[in-house]
Amino acid sequence: MPTPKEVLDFCAKNDVKIVDLRFTDLPGLWHHVSFPIAQLTESSFEDGFGIDGSSIRGWSAIHESDMLLLPDPGWFMLDAFTTVPTLVMIGDVQDPLTRQRYDRDPRYVAKKAEAYLASTGLADQAFFGAEAEFFVFDNIRFDQREQHGFYFIDAEEGRWNSGREDSNLGYRPRYKEGYFPVPPTDHYQDLRTEMVLKLQAAGLTVEYHHHEVATGGQCEIDLRYDTLLRSADHMMLYKYIVRNTANEFGKTATFMPKPIFQDNGSGMHTHQSLWKSGKPLFAGDGYAGLSPMALHYIGGLLRHAPALAALMAPTTNSYKRLVPGFEAPVNLAYSRRNRSAACRIPMYSASPKAKRVEFRPPDPACNPYLAFSAMLMAGLDGVENKIPAGEPLDRDIYDLSPEELKNVPSLPGSLEDALDALEEDHQFLLKGEVFTEDLIRTWIDYKREKEVNAIRLRPHPYEFQLYYDI
């Protein structure tokens, strides 16, 4: 891991003028504060920088708002989007009086999750690889007032523009038929490539990029797996680079799970595996080449999936994607190839190092530090308590009879139901004080007040079509 001196040497070599410290609020948005580079010294990595945390969502009350940000020398980069050479670093949050890490800092949760894993002796590394999808639009308008509410999306690539009279060259993906078309139907080859180059320049390893299923500019760029903490760090950086690169091209990118009606939403399939002493632990001679540990890990994910939903599909909009019978994997079962199952075991490679579990319900609106940590804790609970995964679901879910379908549990149908499930089932998250009761209570209360109840209070535009003349 780089030392503070190596960070300072990097700054001198690259004529850095500003250091930009990033941190994450509870819902999962990056924030930053910038300092002249002269403020960054070797002692800064221990003394930290003071910030006011009172206005950060989900953080402290105003009477205890003073916080410290301690730069993490383990990761840094030059910002690709600033005019002046700027060093980007991630800051860990501390209480300035006790010098204790702050329990509501999502990154601290991820660090505690990794520490808990090591303490169990079951494994010493958890690897996560997340496939976050997103949309690229040309224009987005939305508003909500006392007497009106609307949104309006436009994208040059959107199939709905096929009948436009002016400047219409065609070549747009059909609804639900946007998977892997070549240009000119794929409008964003160059844009995605520029995103990839910027991700690589920031030190991330990109595996591939492609157009996704939906029309209107749905894309995916896949990063190589890494440890839980680093994968969460990388996801925050991934979103930052995607959004800012789109902005440079005069576009806007969104990780909203379901922005377009009746087309595919954006998911974040999350690949997971446990290792010990450099050896993979999920490979074995069981179903789909899995070990007993892997099957019990799946059992934990499936057992706690309703509670996990509140953290991995954490918006009211998430449940426009997680609808039975459509594209989303709401069925709490596992399979080696069936993509309608919540857990899929990829079969691309026979290598033990490639053996992993792909958990398909998460979406990219989640806070990756909290979501990855919660999934690890659920899987570990399955391993520790030998929770059975049940029978695999190797049949097409749409071919099952109503009687057979009754035996396949599913995810909650709304954020409200998911929050209820988390309230009922969160003891597995408290092990090792990875999550705290305070954090879980804060999350539930915030989501109910700011999102569930806020949506419930407002008339929906479609209600006027249904009920205006009733």
Distance of CA 73 to the CA centre of its chain: 24
Element (H, E) at 86: strand 86-94
360 catalytic? Reply is: yes
Nearest 5°: the CA angle 374, 375, 376 is 90
339 catalytic? Reply is: yes
Exactly one of 6, 47, 52, 396 is catalytic; name it.
Answer: 52
- Tokens linked to 343: 């857990």
User: Could you please report the per-residue DSSP string of 346-377?
Assistant: --S---GGG--EEE----TTS-HHHHHHHHHH
Distance between start and end Cα atoms, the chain: 66
131 catalytic? Reply is: yes
- Which residues are registered as beta bridge partners of 275? 125, 280
Element (H, E) at 12: helix 4-13
Question: Torsion angle, CA of 353/355/361/362, rounded to 10 degrees?
Answer: -10
395 catalytic? Reply is: no
Contact residues for 41 (Cβ-Cβ < 8 A; gap 6+): 8
Distance of CA 15 to the CA centre of its chain: 34
Exactly one of 360, 381, 426, 451 is catalytic; name it.
Answer: 360
Q: Give whole-number Cα distances, 364 to 108, 226, 258, 383, in Å.
A: 20, 17, 11, 26
Exactly one of 269, 296, 303, 426 is catalytic; name it.
Answer: 269
User: Hey, is 297 helix, strand or coil?
Assistant: helix
- Which residues are registered as beta bridge partners of 135? 218, 254
| Region for 442 from its dihedrals, namely left if φ exceeds 0, alpha if ψ lies in -120 to 50, beta otherwise | alpha
Element (H, E) at 107: helix 106-120
Exactly one of 25, 92, 114, 131 is catalytic; name it.
Answer: 131
Exactly one of 79, 105, 212, 233 is catalytic; name it.
Answer: 212
220 catalytic? Reply is: yes
358 catalytic? Reply is: yes
Exactly one of 79, 105, 358, 363 is catalytic; name it.
Answer: 358
**Alpha carbon distance 265, 253 (integer Å):** 14
Exactly one of 72, 114, 220, 363 is catalytic; name it.
Answer: 220
403 catalytic? Reply is: no
Exactly one of 133, 226, 263, 381 is catalytic; name it.
Answer: 133
Question: Torsion angle, CA of 404/410/414/416, rounded to 10 degrees?
Answer: 120
Residues belonging to the active site: 52, 131, 133, 212, 220, 269, 339, 358, 360
